[in-house]
Amino acid sequence: MADILASLRSLMASQSPPLDALLVPSEDYHQSEYVSARDKRREFVSGFTGSAGLALITKNEARLWTDGRYFLQATQQLSDQWKLMRIGEDPPLDVWMSDNLQKEAATGIDPWCVSVDTAQRWERAFAKKNQKLVQTSTNLVDEIWKNRPPAEINPAVDHPLEFAGRSVAEKLKALREKLSSEKARGIIITALDEVAWLYNIRGSDVSYSPVVHAFAIVTLNSAFLYVDKRKVSSKVSSSLQANGIEVREYGAVSSDAAMLASNQLDQATGVNFGQNGVCQNDTCDNDLIWVDPASCCYALFSKLDAKKVLLQQSPLALAKALKNPVELDGLKNAHIRDGAAVVQYLVWLDKQMQEIYGASGYFLEGEVTSKKIPETMKLTEVSVSDKLEGFRASKEHFRGLSFPTISSVGPNAAIIHYSPQAKTCAELDPNSIYLFDSGAQYLDGTTDITRTVHFGKPSAHEKACYTSVLKGHIALGNARFPNGTNGYSLDILARIPLWRYGLDYRHGTGHGIGSYLNVHEGPHQISFRPQARNVPLQVSMTVTDAEVITNCIRKFLFPEPGYYEDGNFGIRLENVLVIKEADTEFNFGDKGYLSFEHITWAPYQIKLIDLSILTPEEIQWLNRYHSKCREFLAPYLDKNEMEWLKKATEPFLFISLLPITSSLGYHCSIHLLLGIWWPHDVIGTPLTLNFIAVDEGMKTSAGGNR
One fold for 1-135 and 157-267+286-321: yes
Burial environment of residue 412 by CB neighbours within 10 A (0 to 12, 13 to 18, 19 or more): buried
Q: What is the pLDDT of residue 411?
A: 83
Give the 3-state secondary structure of residue 11. helix
Catalogue the E-assigned strands of 253-352: 288-291, 309-311
Of the options 3.30.750.80, 3.90.230.10, 3.40.1500.10, 3.90.1150.10, the CATH number for the domain spanning 325-361+380-648: 3.90.230.10
Q: What is the pLDDT of residue 69?
A: 81
Q: What is the pLDDT of residue 271?
A: 46
Q: What is the pLDDT of residue 239?
A: 97
Quick check: 466 and 606 in contact, CB under 8 A?
A: no
Q: Which residues of the chain have pLDDT under 70?
A: 1, 267-284, 549-567, 654-706
Q: What is the pLDDT of residue 531?
A: 86
Give residue limits of the domains in the chain.
1-135, 157-267+286-321, 325-361+380-648
Q: What is the pLDDT of residue 551?
A: 60
Q: What is the pLDDT of residue 562?
A: 29
Superfamily of domain 1-135: Creatinase/prolidase N-terminal domain (3.40.350.10)
Residue 689, number of CB atoms within 10 A of its CB: 13
Residue 533: C-alpha distances to residues 9, 254, 525, 675, 704 (Å): 41, 34, 9, 42, 47
Domain 157-267+286-321: state its class.
Answer: alpha beta
Q: What is the pLDDT of residue 509?
A: 92
Question: How many percent of the chain have pLDDT more than 70?
Answer: 87
Q: What is the pLDDT of residue 560?
A: 33
DSSP, res 515: S
Q: What is the pLDDT of residue 654?
A: 60
